[in-house]
């Protein structure tokens, strides 16, 4: 087997563009590694509406943590373009493998918001039916879902199906071994999976410069033979077009595709984090100037596809959606503590048996206490 590969062949097939793909602020996409078409105005209008609802949902979920209704919530405010475009790129029979930060994407895909928030409420491992929704449980460990996505995508391909798996990751996940194993397996077996890395610059408080020496995170695909692209993650038009290209590449038998979306979380890592301890206000303000909602709104208004009445209508719809979430979250869930030990192992480990016995004892003591009152 020849080991000689021309630089031109590598560049044509694998390398990302020299600069992130951007369509909203620069309508001349010449010079990118691939051709990217501007999505239709109707599609961008739908994306804008979804981002308005998504942002309102995000602020409502954040508020629920302060009311004690959620144990924790990782905001994705500022990353709306990534969240909405990812959900919109998939067919109903495609699979989504999200992280804990991708709640907005799940809601945009049509999942019940209360069921989605179950994990973050701390009452169950996953509140929605993964098989029915084709959405894997939100993953808290970094990058493990990338292996799950590859395994499922490979299995679907072997069954002759043309569905695609989309794995959502953060920049910190690309430093994990699971991420690299997933890329390698997917490339060798041409698994139809898209890896979407939302690079928001920080792995909690660790800046990207201390995570990776690669030119870009997209370049990490080259060593595995995985074509890659980098894109402005706050540009919903560019996100939509690049995701369309990647999903079609995977669905048509081209194998995996890696996308690095340059974006920024405007809030802290979670409600339990103090971001002012590790990043400057000037940095946050700079990114506020690239707000994905404002950029989409300017583009659509300039083309007469969006007016004041539309903006008010979408805002009212978002407020109604948030109100429904708020009201439903006031209803206390029924919790069976022993269920936490079910559906994980066929046979409990000795440590879990000990923990289960402890819960049983605590329930018995509580019941006796109630009887004594």
Per-residue pLDDT for the chain (373 aa), expressed as one digit of tens each?
Answer: 556 778 887 878 899 999 999 999 765 556 888 889 999 999 999 999 999 999 999 999 999 999 999 999 999 999 999 999 999 999 999 999 999 999 999 999 999 999 999 999 988 889 999 999 999 999 999 999 999 999 999 999 999 999 999 999 999 999 999 999 999 999 999 999 999 999 999 999 999 999 999 999 999 999 999 999 999 999 999 999 999 999 999 999 999 999 999 999 999 999 888 999 999 999 999 999 999 999 999 999 999 999 999 999 999 999 999 999 999 999 888 888 888 888 778 899 999 999 999 999 999 998 888 777 7
Bridge partners, 373 (sequence order): none
Q: What is the pLDDT of residue 28?
A: 57
User: Do 248 and 209 form a contact (C-beta atoms < 8 A)?
Assistant: no
Q: What is the pLDDT of residue 225?
A: 96
Element holding 241 (H helix, E strand): helix 236-249
Q: What is the pLDDT of residue 298?
A: 96
Percent helix / strand / coil, the chain, rounded to 5: 50, 10, 40
DSSP states of 107-161: HHTT--HHHHTHHHHTSSS-SS-HHHHTBPPPB-SSSHHHHHHHHHHHHHHHTT-
Single out the catalytic residue among 56, 269, 290, 295: 269
Single out the catalytic residue among 49, 265, 290, 295: 265
In total, the chain counts a number of residues equal to 373
* Residue 237 to residue 126: CA distance in whole angstroms: 32
Q: What is the pLDDT of residue 343?
A: 77
The CA–CA distances, whole Å, from 52 to 47, 63, 288 equal 9, 17, 16
Q: What is the pLDDT of residue 345?
A: 85
Which residue reads 């004690």 in tokens?
68
Q: What is the pLDDT of residue 335?
A: 82
Q: What is the pLDDT of residue 9?
A: 79
In the residue annotation, 265 being an active-site residue is answered as yes
Q: What is the pLDDT of residue 156?
A: 97
In the residue annotation, 278 being an active-site residue is answered as yes
Single out the catalytic residue among 43, 278, 301, 326: 278
In the residue annotation, 299 being an active-site residue is answered as no
User: Do 37 and 240 form a contact (C-beta atoms < 8 A)?
Assistant: no
Q: What is the pLDDT of residue 25?
A: 79
Q: What is the pLDDT of residue 182?
A: 98
Q: What is the pLDDT of residue 1?
A: 53
């Amino acid at each position: 087997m020849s080991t000689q590969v021309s630089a031109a062949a590598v560049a044509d097939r694998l390398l990302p563009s020299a600069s992130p793909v951007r369509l909203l602020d620069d309508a001349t996409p010449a010079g990118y590694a691939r051709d990217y078409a501007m999505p239709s105005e109707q599609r961008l209008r739908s994306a804008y509406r979804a981002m308005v609802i998504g942002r309102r949902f995000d602020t409502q979920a954040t508020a629920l943590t302060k009311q004690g209704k959620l144990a924790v919530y990782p905001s994705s405010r500022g990353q709306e373009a990534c969240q909405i475009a990812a959900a919109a790129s998939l067919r109903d029979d495609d699979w989504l493998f999200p992280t804990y930060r991708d709640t907005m994407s799940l809601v945009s895909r049509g999942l019940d918001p209360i069921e989605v928030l179950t994990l973050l409420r701390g009452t169950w491992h996953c509140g929605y039916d993964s098989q029915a929704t084709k959405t894997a449980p939100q993953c808290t460990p970094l990058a493990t879902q990338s292996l799950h996505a590859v395994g499922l995508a490979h299995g679907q391909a072997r069954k002759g199906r043309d569905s695609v798996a989309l794995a959502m990751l953060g920049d910190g996940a690309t430093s994990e071994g699971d991420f690299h194993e997933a890329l390698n397996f997917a490339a060798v077996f041409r698994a139809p999976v898209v890896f979407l890395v939302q690079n928001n610059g920080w792995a909690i408080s660790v800046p990207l410069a201390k995570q990776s020496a690669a030119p870009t995170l997209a370049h990490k695909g080259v060593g595995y033979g995985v074509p890659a692209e980098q894109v402005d993650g706050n540009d919903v038009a560019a996100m939509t077009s690049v995701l369309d290209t990647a999903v079609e590449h995977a669905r048509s038998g081209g194998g995996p595709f890696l996308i690095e979306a340059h974006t920024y979380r405007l809030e802290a890592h979670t409600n339990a984090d103090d971001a002012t301890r590790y990043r400057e206000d000037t940095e946050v303000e700079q990114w506020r100037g690239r707000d994905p909602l404002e950029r989409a709104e300017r583009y659509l208004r300039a083309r007469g596809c969006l007016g004041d009445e539309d903006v008010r209508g979408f805002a009212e719809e978002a407020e109604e959606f948030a109100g429904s979430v708020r009201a439903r979250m006031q209803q206390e869930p029924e919790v069976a503590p022993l269920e936490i030990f079910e559906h994980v192992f066929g046979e409990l480990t000795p440590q879990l048996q000990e923990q289960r016995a402890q819960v049983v004892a605590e329930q018995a003591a509580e019941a006796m206490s109630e009887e004594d009152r």
